[in-house]
Amino acid sequence: MNNSLSSTDIQEHRQQFPGLVNKTYFNFGGQGTMPDVALSAIIDTHKYIQQIGPFSGQVNSWLTTKVNDLRNAIASELNTTAETITITENVTAGCNIALWGIDWQPGDRILMSDCEQSGIIAKVEEIFRRFGVEVALC
């Protein structure tokens, strides 16, 4: 796989993101700009789910297949196996898994940005309270 992109490739790629047309963007991790193809996929997915019936066995089976396909695609890109990829419903849930999966010890330190989402702040505050870790903001 060739990971080098030419200036032309980058410009063509950026054109797929309406939010990047006239600015330099630094994704802060909260909600990033999406390419048109991603927005279209989201809309098409919602329409399909409404068509076959939200919360139905059929939609659950369809979504399970889509999530497995996604895990396989990510694993392929990262040159690993799908079993090592976890898909969560949102970033907060993913951070919850990672934060509570660490064997925190007194004196450990968490570095967090000063614009963190409230769900992450609450988790870090509880880890601070329970385990005596230090929390620093940047």
pLDDT, tens digit, for every residue of 3-56? 566 777 877 887 888 877 777 776 666 567 778 888 899 999 999 999 998 889
Closest CA to 52 of 62, 42, 43: 62
Q: What is the DSSP letter of 135?
A: E
Q: Which residues contact 132 (CB under 8 A, 6 or more apart)?
A: 106, 107
How far apart CA 46 and CA 58 sit, in angstroms, is 14
Q: Which residues contact 63 (CB under 8 A, 6 or more apart)?
A: none
pTM over 0.95: no
Output the six-digit token pair for 60.
């659950």
Closest CA to 44 of 66, 22, 72: 66
Q: What is the mean pLDDT of residues 124-137?
A: 96
What is the radius of gyration, based on Cα positions, of the chain? 19
Closest CA to 128 of 118, 114, 116, 111: 111
Closest CA to 104 of 125, 122, 87, 84: 125
Q: How confident is the model at residue 86 (pLDDT cuts 50, 70, 90)?
A: very high
Position 21 scores a pLDDT of: 75
